């Protein structure tokens, strides 16, 4: 677990590592770039590289070390619902989240179909937020798979946003994150796309979070939209006292 610079979370926890690309949003994967760096540094967890999916059982005890309530992004370096992650291991990760009710866990996947297939075999305590990544209209059906899960909080990560999403079905969705692509060769994001999504969220009373414009210098591009930041979050579940 590590402090995170991601604007919408506090910590990251990676009980699995590695992934494979499945759609256009994966083209310039942040986790792939970071894995190469960590591998070059000799970090044991990343010795097999990005394209090898590995469970990391030694990480399962990590959230128990944190007694103070935190918002935790699960698997920033992987995808918990990747087909090479065994269902029994997914259940073990969920059991940790079920136990650590003082925290809010944010799980994000592109494998929405597998998520829907196994959702009823998992225990969904209220502190587990479930999200899917949707980069353009071509993969918008991921939202339908998310919608049928028992997750108490459901969210969308529209990042990197590489195309318009003019007709989002936000029924049952609690939170939408929007962000542009960053890196050496980022694909452009258009302000009209972002404003259109913001307006849809407002009409549907869904929390809207604008993460960044991205670009080759994302810090310079900033995250102002219409002269202000948008940092809305879903209502936090009340943590259990210890």
- Please provide residue 86's backbone torsions phi and psi, each rounded to the nearest 5 degrees: -60, 145
- Average pLDDT on 9-13 reads 97
pLDDT band at 110 (very low <50, low <70, confident <90, very high): very high
Domain positions in the chain are 2-14+57-221
Picking from 138, 69, 75, the residue whose alpha carbon sits closest to that of residue 109 is 75
Specify the pLDDT at position 5: 86
pLDDT at 207 over 50: yes
User: pLDDT tens for residues 184-206?
Assistant: 899 999 999 999 999 999 999 99
The full DSSP string for 67-106 is: -S--EEEE-TTB-TT-TTS-HHHHHHHHHHHHH-TTSEEE
Residue with tokens 């650590």: 100
Q: What residue has token string 């269902």? A: 87
CA distance 94 to 201: 29
Q: Whats the size of the chain, residue-wise?
A: 242
Distance CA 142, CA 234 (A): 20
For all residues of the chain together, what is the average pLDDT? 95
Greatest Cα pair distance in the chain: 49
Percentage of the chain modeled with pLDDT above 70: 97
Terminal-to-terminal C-alpha distance of the chain: 21
Q: pLDDT digits over 145-184, tens only? A: 999 999 999 999 999 999 999 999 999 999 999 999 998 8
Q: Say what the alpha-carbon torsion angle 34, 20, 133, 159 is, to the nearest 10 degrees.
A: 40
Cβ atoms of 17 and 74 within 8 Å: the answer is no
- CA neighbor of 131 nearest in space, from 119, 143, 122: 143
Output the pLDDT for position 239: 47
Q: Mind listing the pLDDT tens digit for each residue in 67-109?
A: 899 999 999 999 999 999 999 999 999 999 999 999 999 999 9
Residue 236: which pLDDT band, with cuts at 50, 70 and 90?
low
pLDDT at 242: 33
């Amino acid at each position: 677990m590590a402090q995170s610079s991601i604007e919408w979370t506090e910590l990251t926890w990676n009980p699995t590592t590695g992934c494979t690309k499945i759609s256009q949003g994966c083209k310039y994967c942040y986790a792939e770039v970071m894995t190469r760096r960590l591998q070059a540094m000799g970090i044991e967890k990343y010795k097999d590289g990005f394209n090898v999916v590995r469970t990391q059982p030694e990480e399962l005890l990590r959230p128990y070390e944190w007694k103070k309530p935190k918002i935790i992004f699960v698997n920033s370096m992987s995808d918990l619902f990747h087909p090479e992650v065994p269902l029994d291991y997914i259940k073990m990760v969920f059991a940790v989240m079920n136990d650590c009710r003082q925290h809010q866990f944010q799980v994000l996947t592109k494998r929405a179909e597998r998520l829907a297939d196994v959702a009823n075999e998992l225990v969904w305590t209220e502190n587990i937020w479930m999200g899917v990544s949707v980069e353009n209209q071509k993969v918008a059906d991921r939202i339908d798979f998310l919608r049928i899960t028992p997750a108490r909080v459901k969210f969308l990560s529209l990042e990197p946003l590489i195309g318009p999403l003019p007709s989002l079905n936000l029924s049952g969705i609690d939170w939408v994150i929007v962000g542009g692509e960053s890196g050496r060769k980022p694909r452009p994001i258009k302000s009209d796309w972002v404003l259109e999504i913001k307006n849809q969220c407002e009409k549907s009373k869904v929390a809207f979070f604008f993460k960044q414009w991205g670009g080759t210098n994302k810090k310079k591009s900033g995250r102002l939209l219409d002269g202000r930041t948008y940092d809305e979050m879903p209502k936090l579940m009340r943590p259990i006292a210890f």
